[in-house]
Structure 1
Amino acid sequence: MANALEREDYLSDFLKCPICLETFKKPKCLPCLHTFCEACLQVYIDSDNSSEATDSEDSKSKVEASSDQSGIRCPTCRKFIQIGAEVAKCTWLQGLPDNFFINSLIDKQLIQTQSKTCDPCASNGKKELAQTWCANCSEALCQECLNYHQKFKALRNHSFLDLNSVKTQEKATSLSGFIPCADHSSSSAQVFCRDHHVACCTLCATVRHRTCSEILTLEEASKNVKYDKTTLDLQKQLNDMIDSIQIRISQRKDCLVNLKLSKETMENKTTGLINDAIKNLETLKTSFQNQMENKVEVLSANFDHEICKLKNLLSRVMHQKHILSVSVSQGSNEECIVERESILRIKEEIRVESDEIPPNSEFGTFRFTVDHNLQKLTSKITAFRNISLSQGTCRMKNGQIKLLRKEKLCTGLCSAVFSQNDILISWYNEKQVLIVDFSLNLKSSVSLNGNPRDITVDDLGRVFVSLPDQSEVVEIDMITKSVKKLFSTVVKCYGILWMNNKFMITSGDKIESYRHDGIKQKEIKTNDTWHMCCKQNEETLLYPKADTVIENSQLTNEKSLLGQPGAGLRGIDTDVEGNIYTVGMRSNKLYQLSPDGSLLQEANFDELFNLKSLWKVCLKVKKNIVVTTCDGDVALFEIVCTCKS
């Protein structure tokens, strides 16, 4: 009985608008998957126009605008939702998709908690007990109205549910009878494309998914979806993300406490010394305290910012878990698979944002040393020693590179890319892709019909390989280890990169962009270019061209950053700070550049690690680097940061 009451309370909370705290009325779903009443969202947007909110910080956080874009922040997770300067906010709001899942649950809850009156009879002033629910019309019908309803040819094929069975049945049933197409919200989704993991209408299936290999009816695709491995794994992953973020919030709260305690301890020490000193040391005390307060203010602001961001991420993950739990417990199979696939996409966005924040932080205490002259209290004293932080993990600027493991996994040329907890190696000579762990131990391999030259991974973890001898791009299913051809390229596809929902292909003297269905969009000329990468969160391409690192925005504006004549620049990648890494095949060096192209440091890998003919460099967030060579060597490194006082 207690569990039933808990489920009822849980569902009631799920059906309440976070703004008005009442049951949803015309629920609208934002791209971040948070749902609000349409009227509440309208008031939330309009509040920016009030004179009281115009100059407030709260107003600026709600609605933001610039010369080329405008939007709002989600009231729950604070994620920025772009609208576009040319679109009126009221028009944009009306175009948001209705949350049919919420509507279905509200109708179902109403039916299960009270007797339902026939809707057509009620409109005529009569009160007749309803026995049937029409899913297409979203109306309750008595037996007489049901008979009339079924006499009309246009209404004869509607879907009807017995209200008594809805009240008592354990199996979840959709009352809306409508699941919208992912691209046409006014059309009903009837099929599911497993290639793109999306529910769509028959028009989309005919036009946009005509080349896809696995198109199923929505009912067939959603069979047993609540208990399949993907759903269960997603529930576990969301729980793990919640635990991880909560731990990191707790760490930063501890750091704040330690920071304040350390500050108090230092003040007590300095106060004791100053009380024993002569009068002119009071000036030094004031100077010292100001210096310390400034450092504490800066560090506290940083921790507060990270805690706020982590709390927002936690809120988003818990909301996705909430949606999934309700989908599994209350939604139909069709609703569950649609919600699950939406959450998978949002989960990847949250993971990327979470990875941008350091996984742990050990700052929070000061290291304090006293000038020996201060203890002697001589007139030569002019200042205390500098304040510095105790050593911890810091963001890399000029960190050292530590070799973790080096193995000769291939013969000849090979490339690498990080994929979740594995490293994928393309073995050109043997027509294979190797899957190794972070100790460079072989886990498995995938055979190909051509020689793989380069490899890339998209935002959802899908793996794509270039086969220049076949002029093809193929996709590898990492679960089944099967290979599927995606499309053919105009040129020999040597380097490959997934960037902002399109493929970038380089053939040495050209860079071409392709849509996911293989339609070529654009090309530019280059020289001696074999690898590419993109700047963090930007549509800007980076690549070596004739031993010069090039920054190219929208494939139109080339900008030279730094040249290394004779180096034979090949692989290139960036870290989360925007620093650029590239390797020289002839110089055998790894070069680290700042985001604006200034050379920060270079390391001779031949002298340090006996690695020659460097070919590909790939970074995982900001801690690990993989470097491959033309001779089949694969080396895994760790960036060891140093903090200077």
Structure 2
Amino acid sequence: MATAEQINEQDVFACPICLETLKSPKSLPCLHTFCEICIGEFILSTEQRAEQKLSNYPCPVCRTVVTPNNSGDKTSQWAASLPHNFTISSLMDSSKSVKQECHLCKRRDKISEATKWCCDCTEALCEECLQFHGIMKFSADHKVFQIDEMNSPLIIEEPDLSIISDSCPVHTSKVLEAFCFDHQQLCCLLCITLHHRKCEHVQAFEEMQNLKNDKISMLLSEVNDIKVKVENVMKEKNGEKEKLDIAFSEIETEANTFVSSLKDKLDSMLALFIKGLNITREESENAFEDKMKTFEKISNYFDKLQTTTKTVEEHGTLNQMFIHFEKSKAELKSVLKEASSVLNTSSISEAKLVKSAKLGEVENIDGLIELKSIKTIPVEMSAYIKQLFPSDSSVLSKTSPAIGFENVILKHNKTIDLDGFDVYGGVFVSDEVIVIGGKCEESIGKLKAINILNERIVDEHTFSTIVKRLAFDFESESLFLSCYRSKLYRLKFVDAFNSEMNSKDINCRYGGICISDGVLYVIVNKTVKKISLENLQQPLEMCFQTNTNCYHLNGLEIDSKNNRLLYTSENYEVVGTSFDGSKIFRYKDEYMKKTTSLCVHLTGIILVGDESGQIHVISEDGERRRTVLNSCDKLKSVRDLCLDKSCSRLAIFAPGYIELYDVCVGSG
């Protein structure tokens, strides 16, 4: 809504209520003009305050009492019936050809022609004001167009980058520079000073490690997938609606047919009833007429008898009187006997309509038919979120500080008891299933696939030799095993182990094993060798010499981020090399006793398992170490460890147990 200062007091185009340009101007008898919507809302609010039906209302300006011509109509219709102010409308139309005035100058009581339009300020500017507009920091990046080109089809709509402006939404003159992980809020310096002083996890953008554009790519991919799912849900709902529309139409047709048949039946019953009624009425009338004729006949007989009796009485002899008397008795008996055949019959004395009890029941019910509908159980938004969004949604998940050497911690999630199974190594084959390998009897190896959610064994497979290390290729769904007795196995795993196995049996000892980009890397004696997964029939190809010992357990991993190999040496060092064997770093200190296993986080930090039961983290550059787990929950030693695909969960393996830890950010 415009402010009063922006409207000239003599501006006849302004509505006195909203102070904006009149829309559908309506005039009162006092000649004051208002927007139709504004005067309508004024009338309704007046009635609400009065708490009763209005018969009139005052003008909002001069308080003149206005009595509507259609006072009997609803109050909401009074405004629409007011006369339209065509004079104002025509003046407004003609004024559109007037040059646009500069809004800034107008507020300074100056008149100047505007040539530019600021889309962000939604104001017209003259050339002079445009210069000041461009100088001001808060408006320097606003989008400005030539007014006479505003309606030109040549202007191409540009992306609205204001939605991703780095200006603070609270302190608009400040730039966003940090993120509060505690409150999940973007912050400027003033925000940090005023609202986030006590927050423990506030980090400047410049300090954030691994700040890359992969998040926006992930967001775009997720949004695209969600959009497809939403469209599928919409199609499904539209299909359900179409089915319901068809069902409702069929119900309407069925109801019309049913009621029509009822009407036909009732009409037929009514016609039959009326026919019977008319027959009964006619029979009743005939019987009534017969009885009336009989009574008339009796009446006539008595009239005649009366006359004759008087004559005999006056002029007849005693004999004649006696004869007349006896004859009259006999005649009377004959007349009455004749009348009795007519009068001594039943007749209708009263008639009324008696309704059938069933029709009475129908008459008393609210409807002959009713709509029976089955409603679905209300679907909570959480169910839709589960349906549309992935479980690890980047949109819904809480943003955490980037995991790094200084802040990574391990939080115990659960311990799985393996009932004494002697575990040597393990690997994630999905978010829910881990495959572990070891021995069940002397020199007899076994694989077990375990669902870590319900801790149940999914499948088992027995070998003739003990399993040492495992690696899984998600693309080919192939599991690779290095075993004692110089054996290297490959078998399929899709919910269960495939009994068909391929093995390489050479006179060498195998150790750590890992897969990257379709290539299998294996420690063989004191070397690292490789083989393409597409050509497993070929012999292993030498990569470089190492100082490893395959008589004992060792670890081998690929750091995809830094494009290098990592392994544990016979001296229990953690060694980083290029793929051709060039040394990048070698780390060991007095706190690392027997490091025989390792894994690499997506951020490049290295988690190392020590046979003493400790877990260490080594920095990405291989120059620093710190202990992130001094002791496990139940494990006394560590034989192997691995991360899941998202690197959010760490599995630690030892005889009899698997321990799961969440990889989190915390104070180191």
Question: TM (normalized to structure 1)?
Answer: 0.41
Question: TM (normalized to structure 2)?
Answer: 0.40
Structure with max Cα Rg: 2
